[in-house]
Amino acid sequence: MTSRSLIGFVHNGQHPPALQMSKAVMRALDLGDACWLSSAGELDALRRKLTNTKLIVVAGGDGTILRAVRVIAEYGIPLVGINMGRVGFMAELKVDEAIAKLPEYLNGDVRVEKRMMLEVSVTRASERAPYLTLHALNDVVVGRGGVTRLLDIEAVIDGETLTSYRADAVIVSTATGSTGYALSAGGPIMHPETEAILIQPVAAHTGLRNGVILPHHAKLQLHASDDHEATLSVDGFSDTTLHKEDYVSVRRSPYVTRFLRRHTPSTFYAALAPRLGV
């Protein structure tokens, strides 16, 4: 990491003020050729630059950070977010403090917060190797496609059947994702540095209706056995149609997301209620 020299600026391509904010910070810090600029949607085309990037500044909301993480996680690049969204659970800085505070992050006067991610793969029953593998910071969701009927989703943990959910969806979440979709489905809140996996059904009619927290080393398999169309969503972006012979496997990812923080881990508790509007 110490040999890397570039600083990347990533913005929400659908929100012009985020681009303006990124450019303003770049000018204020006078980084010259030591930085680059990209929208989150175009980041995949800059992989050659990522191998020489030591820090990424993301201007946008949590969705923009999730888009960036999909690309940068495998490179081990830490990031700091400027909150231009609504809730901003992952972002570190407010817009009005970004220019003044960013030098602390560039100089290394902060701590690195590592967050566990999930690896999800989809394998057809007739095949040995998965045809799709993705990594998620927030969650993996197996849910209904374009139909209104409930799904029957079997959950198997480390080779043992947990239950067969009859529900709208099943969420498999990290601690980071516990304050997202899983929370709206009635799941518990976990500190973001907790290394655990949460299974949370959505509107379950049968099977377990409460969330189940698994250790980080657990391996989970989901199978939507109904004839009705099911979909796989990863961090809310990758929607893949599942066939009834498809098996979704979820386990801890080899990658982690690295956030730069200037506050202690306990700050999460003080910020929790205000961010949820409580």
* One-letter-per-residue 3-state SS of the chain: CCCCCEEEEEECCCCHHHHHHHHHHHHHHCCHHHEEEEEHHHHHHHHHHHCCEEEEEEEECHHHHHHHHHHHHHHCCCEEEEECCCCCCCCCECHHHHHHHHHHHHCCCCEEEEEEEEEEEEEECCCCCCCEEEEECCEEEEEECCCCCCEEEEEEECCEEEEEEEECEEEEECCHHHHCHHHHCCCCCCCCCCCEEEEEEECCCECCCCCEEEECCCCEEEEECCCCCEEEEECCCEEEEECCCEEEEEEEEEEEEEEEECCCCCHHHHHHHHHHCC
148 and 80 in a common domain: no
164 and 51 in a common domain: no
Residues taking part in catalysis: 62
pTM attached to this predicted model: 0.93
39 and 134 in a common domain: no
130 and 97 in a common domain: no
The CATH number of residue 61's host domain is 3.40.50.10330
Mean pLDDT value of segment 59-78? 95
Residue 1: inside a domain = no
The CATH number of residue 183's host domain is 2.60.200.30
Residue 248: pLDDT over 90: yes
**pLDDT value at position 1?**
44
124 and 59 in a common domain: no
Which of the residue ranges 73-77, 85-89, 229-233, 265-269 has the most confident prediction, judged by mean pLDDT? 73-77
210 and 165 in a common domain: yes
**pLDDT value at position 146?**
65
Among the three residues 84, 109, 134, which one is the final residue of a domain in this structure?
109
Give how many domains the chain has, as a whole number: 2
Among the three residues 74, 93, 109, which one is the final residue of a domain in this structure?
109
pLDDT digits (tens, 9 = 90+) for 83-97: 997 777 899 999 999
130 and 233 in a common domain: yes
Which region, left, alpha or beta, applies to residue 158 given φ > 0 means left and ψ of -120 to 50 means alpha?
Answer: left
248 and 130 in a common domain: yes
243 and 159 in a common domain: yes
249 and 145 in a common domain: yes
Among the three residues 75, 109, 143, which one is the final residue of a domain in this structure?
109
The range of the structural domain enclosing residue 139 comes to 117-255
141 and 27 in a common domain: no
Residue % of the chain over a pLDDT of 90: 82
121 and 233 in a common domain: yes
Residue 87: inside a domain = yes
